[in-house]
A and B are shown apart, each in its own frame.
Chain A
Amino acid sequence: MKHVGRGVPGLPNRQLVSGHGQYVADIALDGMCAMAVLRSPYAHARIVSIDTVRALAEPGVVYVLTGDEIARETHPIPPAADPGFYGGKSLAVRALPADRARYVGEPVAVVVAEDRYTAHRALELVDVVYEELPVVHDAEAALDPASPLVEPTWGDNVMIRKEFTQGDARRALRAAGVRVVSGVVKAQRYVASPIEPRAYAAAWDPYAEQLTVWSSTQNPHPLRVFLAETLGLAETAIRVIQPHVGGGFGEKVPTFPEEVAIAYLARKLGRPIKWIEERTEHFLAGGHAREEVLTFQAAYEPDGRVTALDVRIVADVGVPATFCGWAMSYVTAYCVPAAYKIPDCRVEVFTVVTNKCPWNGYRAFGKEAASFLMDRVMDRVADATGVDRVEVRLRNFIRPEEFPFSQVSGAMLDSGDYPRALRRVRELIGADRFAEEQRDARRQGRHIGLGFGFELTPEGCSLPNSTLLSGYDGATVRVAPDGHVTILTGVTSPGSGNETGIAQIVADELGVGLEHVRVLQGDTDTCPYGLGNYSSRSLMIGGSAAKLAATELREKMLKVAARALEVSPADLDADDGQVFVKGAPTRRIPFRDVASLVYRHAYGPEASDVEPGLESTRYFRIGNVYHRPEVQGRFSAYPTWPSGACAAVVDVDPDTGFVKVLRYAVVHDSGPIVNPVLAHGNLHGGIAQGLGGALYEHIVYDEAAQLRTASFMDYTLPTAVEMPTCVVEMQETASPFTLTGCKGVGESGVTGPLGAVASAVENAFPELKLALMETPLMPNRVWRALREAETART
């Protein structure tokens, strides 16, 4: 029986559903202290002095760490990706600043105490004298030469300016005359919000000279590399263990200041220490995403074809930090014009620093803004030409026969069938009957609308000169003497289920039942080196590595079985725990007996000419990545390009502007699906985060760059009540570059809701010329747009 393609429940389900998972917060060691972090109350201030005397005098306080000691005793934290390599400006950042706080929430001191309550009380006893400095709170203003500087040594506030061009967009726009649409698309600041906050624990064993760090990281091996460099330790002196992780979504990818501080302190103090992020700290300093303004002009033909596009992107990425979030702005530019073929195109991005929390990797990683922009462009062209919104997209899509397709930025789109997906989602949402449905609703006084979105979510991010972001990973497959199988992977699961998919792939390769397979992840002492979890790489790259290792073992075991059955290995197959002769399945030998021959009869006739042991470690490097820059410094950073066509039906209350999503459908193409249940689950979760972004979630700073949304009461995630029933259907065009054909599903679903919901709200009022360009579509924003459109009409 084959496992790939079957929706088996996740392997850890029973453990997790019974409350017996083990997360970092659950770790308790003898003598364990608690750490608490003092954070800057100012967006930009000189640290004049830090007096720790009162805090240290508090009973139960063990130690107070400040930036001076960090500067003396540690190295800068290596960045997850260095903007300097891409022609931008870099900055050495340490775990704690010695002289200047640059955003509200930046760690400035760390207290260690016997318990958490004491540590938190002692925070109030650390006396910091600040001198406030001018604040940069807005990216556009930050571009003004007269603006104060976030980094005085930089000379301006631009981390990176990059331009991708093809043809001559400006000339084409001039030539198009009046056939030009334009607009300003705005994406709001966003925060990942896994329900498990960040959590770290560390312990130093002075006799073994080993530091053990338990982290809610998505990337244990890169974290070990970065900690070793920062602390000046050998990598072998550090063991990073990733227990169960309660959601990551990219937020738990980089090395955080708190990880360095706790690792340093555990060694210095000789005491195990634990730190659990408070939710407010997540909002202040866990890393944000997405705040971008995209100004576009697009030229079109009367039939709806877009002939030229000019886009200027200004991304407000907060302060420069070790998080790799800034790269999302680059990716936004890299992905324009997404799924469409536009002859003349110019995309310019300014990655601008401000005194806000730094961007951090977040699910969709900048791709969402590119797709949202293109959805808005297509709908504006539809408005201008009178051509149906779906039809406009169909006329501009890259066609299925055109892959691999080289996009403006140098991106190499691998595969897909965009028209088929869009036509299918139009059916699924009931578009043919919608006009009637809309008329009926109007008669009852309800305003419902139908909208479409199309997302392109490239995966397997692979950047040159990066410890963290590359297109390879490793896996070990081990068969025990009793035939049970252990898989150790370099990729990890933050709860997304790749361990189950990888087990399915290996079980099929070896022909054993899933109940005989165990997967171990997230331990640098036992798992092969690998880059962990991000960019939906775990199944497509990690799964391919595991398949390579399993194939090697399969070949070895079939060779031994062939001797036992006196046939050629080519005549054999394996399934259900048996190795058997093809076409004559009664001639067989149990899988476990083959393992036994290898281990117990190393000198016997069956196994004496194979190497003893049944263990294979293999690495997989994905294709379609080009790191030698071609013209204009272009390179191909994403090997696979999943896509999705989305449709939403909404009900809008014209008196309040409140938007209710009635139904939602997506046809998604991530290639062949290993586990449909887990893949669908990922999509449902992605859609929820996407609808959150389209309608509810919004990080707000005031003009002093003080955070105004620091709790779940202010930053509202969708609950089950806000979520519509979603129809998810898979379309499978295989990637030529992975061993399973799969393209990654981890970020899928997040992007489409932005365009689909905006389009649907506009469609709910066909008589008004609504052009909704800014998310989230909160009631006040929709209400104002309705009033403005009504005024313009009269």
Chain B
Amino acid sequence: MAGVEWPERFGETAVDKNGRRGLREEQERLTVLELINVSKHFGAIQAVSDVSFSLEPGEVVGLMGDNGAGKSTLVKMIAGNFRPSEGTLKMDGAEIILHRPVEARRHGIEIVHQDLALCNNLTAAANVFLGRELHRGLGPFKVLDYASMYRRAGEIFAELKSETRPRDLVNKMSGGQRQAVAIARTRLSDAKIVLMDEPTAAISVRQVAEVLNLIRLLRDQGIAIILISHRMPDVFTVADRVIVMRRGQKVADKKIAASSPEEVTGLITGAIERV
């Protein structure tokens, strides 16, 4: 981690963290993302109805629910793929309207897609910088700055404590390394929120541990994480809070310590109506 400079904001939050349950203003200042009565319908289909929750810096929230419960629709609204039919999104207290994913990225919302969105024929560094390549030179004579991209990608992999070599092709990498490449993208900008869609689906047990460590590393930098997952053990290992969705509604939002896998399973299936 030597030589890594994190933005000041992160240091501040770490200090404030202890006192965050204090004053009301402080509480508000510490809310990085807030959803207020958000709904989304596609024609007659109500995908998400009246969901509100807030997210603090450095908080990991597990978002759980069965297929079709509205998780992806909810996440796609935060990521700028869909606009809410009703309700508002607020970041740092100010309302935001996202028309496209690029705008979400500009607000500091980064997504790690379920399929990771990697190009197997490109190097790790090329994948990290895909769509955000670094240049050198002037005006029309700009060329790709390979040296800087390799160096920066290497620094990010070191931060993530991942044995990933920037010059290697992605198609030769393990599931954990591929995750590291996808997660490294979120470190290029000053991300405040990282949405992770099923990061531990379809990888080996050892690699799951690697990915959970990556999530903890991001959290320790003060980044808020929404972890969409089907895997109960992962959510209970790494998340601070769990939000359960069923039929488009939020049926639970509670501290991990105050819940149990049995309760969450009951909430997902509908055996427990709501807590």
Q: Note whether A and B form a binding pair.
A: no
